[in-house]
Amino acid sequence: MNILLVEPPFPIPDKSRNHSHFLPLGLLKIGTYHRKLGDRVRLVRGNRRCGFTPNRVLITSLFTYWSGAVHDAAAFYHRAYPTAQIEIGGIYATLMPRDCRRRSPFAVVRRGLYRKGAAERVAPDYSLLPEALDYQIVHTSRGCTRRCAFCGTWRIEPTFTCKTTILPEVQKPRLVFYDNNLLANPHIDDILRELAAHRLPRGRPVTCESQSGFDLRLLTAQRAQSLKSARFQNARIAWDGAYKTWPRVRRAIRILKAVGYGRKDIHVFMLYNHALPYREMRMKLDACRRWKVRVVDCRYRPLTSTEDGYQPGPKSQDAGAYFIYPGWTDRQVRSFRRAVRHQNIAILLNLPRGRYVPGCEQRMVST
């Protein structure tokens, strides 16, 4: 059988298309699964003919607000290969199957993990990509032990499962962990010790990075040292709680700094345009400025949003153009995003405290 794997034309910059944030990992695992069955497999990114006639076209989906690209791809491949079965899976298809079926009635909508997780038990087929990568994606666990209202992970993967080791999977010098809560794996301490001691051929060590933030409640001094020993880079933590939880965040930052992470290494995830008001979010941002750590701002969109009309930049947008949480305004959304950018530059350049003025990196205006 001919299997065509499709990553729709998501609005991802070309320079990031093979970045670890946006690699179509699910499709690469499905590719391995079908090649083991003897099928012919190709991967295409965007809407274009693939050079062979597929029997099945498997289209992935990501964020619900990127659903338009999914349906554009489904329509394109339905026209290009009218005899092929069009199938849509992934995050959006799992969270909003009815909307997916309504907008592409000719397609089969697949919810959850492919073939009940069968594709999860094989390694990704990186040969499907147009260029070689110096990193690989790794999971030590699936799902999450938390039930955050704004997150879709526990809805998509309701059962938390974990591995006791990942060493048999390690092939590349750089590992990027896609766990939603890496430290929640009860075997994580053993895994970190294994990674610290592991060497590739010729004695080369591996470096690691977690795409998700470390759980504040699970980050201890000993575990931070284990992360450092396992050569984890770009330590990230998530501060989703209220400003009053700042002592816990400061403690985590001090723990990370004590084992050798500096201001260029530590990042704090912050969800804005959400339940916490603008003024409180600015207080959290100011706290990170005092602690000299950078912030990764995450603008909230509801899990049911099928589009996002937000346009970045200073120009304001009318009410209803994109989702704005009750109590927030378009001006505040843009102001917070801008403040994060300016503050991060000031921290990166180790400038004295004050308000960063774009284009004037050597001059600060006091606040």
Beta carbons within 8 Å of 99's beta carbon, 6+ residues apart: 67, 306
Cα 136 to Cα 142: distance, rounded to the nearest angstrom = 17
Q: How far is CA 316 from CA 268, 319, 320, in A?
A: 27, 10, 12
One domain for residues 315 and 172: yes
3-state secondary structure of 1: coil
One domain for residues 332 and 206: yes
DSSP 270-314: EEESSSS-HHHHHHHHHHHHHHT-EEEEEE---TT--------SS
Please report where in the chains the tokens 């400038």 appear, as a residue. Answer: 351
pLDDT at 15: 54
pLDDT at 257: 96
- At 295, the amino acid letter reads V
One domain for residues 154 and 38: no
pLDDT at 356: 46
Report the phi/psi class of residue 145: left, alpha or beta, with left for phi > 0 and alpha for psi in -120 to 50: alpha
One domain for residues 108 and 159: no
Say how many C-beta atoms besides its own lie within 10 A of residue 21's C-beta.
9
pLDDT at 119: 82
Beta carbons within 8 Å of 131's beta carbon, 6+ residues apart: 18
One domain for residues 13 and 132: no
Choose one of 71, 92, 117: the last residue of a domain: 117
One domain for residues 82 and 154: no
- Cβ burial of 313 (10 Å; 0-12, 13-18, 19+) is exposed
- Cβ burial of 231 (10 Å; 0-12, 13-18, 19+) is middle
pLDDT at 221: 97
pLDDT at 364: 35
Domain that residue 193 falls in = 122-365
The CATH number given to whatever domain includes residue 24 is 3.40.50.280
One domain for residues 280 and 164: yes
Those residues of the chain that have pLDDT short of 70 are 13-21, 354-367
8 A C-beta contact, residue 194 and residue 165: yes
One domain for residues 81 and 57: yes
Cα 47 to Cα 80: distance, rounded to the nearest angstrom = 10
Beta carbons within 8 Å of 239's beta carbon, 6+ residues apart: 216, 245, 249, 268, 269, 270, 284
Choose one of 117, 150, 176: the last residue of a domain: 117
- Cβ burial of 347 (10 Å; 0-12, 13-18, 19+) is buried
8 A C-beta contact, residue 332 and residue 326: no
Give the Cα-Cα-Cα angle 287, 293, 299 (nearest 5 degrees): 75
8 A C-beta contact, residue 24 and residue 46: no
**In the chain, how many domains are there?**
2
One domain for residues 146 and 269: yes
One domain for residues 144 and 224: yes
One domain for residues 150 and 48: no
One domain for residues 147 and 289: yes
Q: Tens digits of per-residue pLDDT, 77-90?
A: 999 999 999 999 99
Choose one of 67, 83, 117: the last residue of a domain: 117
8 A C-beta contact, residue 140 and residue 191: yes
pLDDT at 302: 95
Cα 240 to Cα 271: distance, rounded to the nearest angstrom = 6
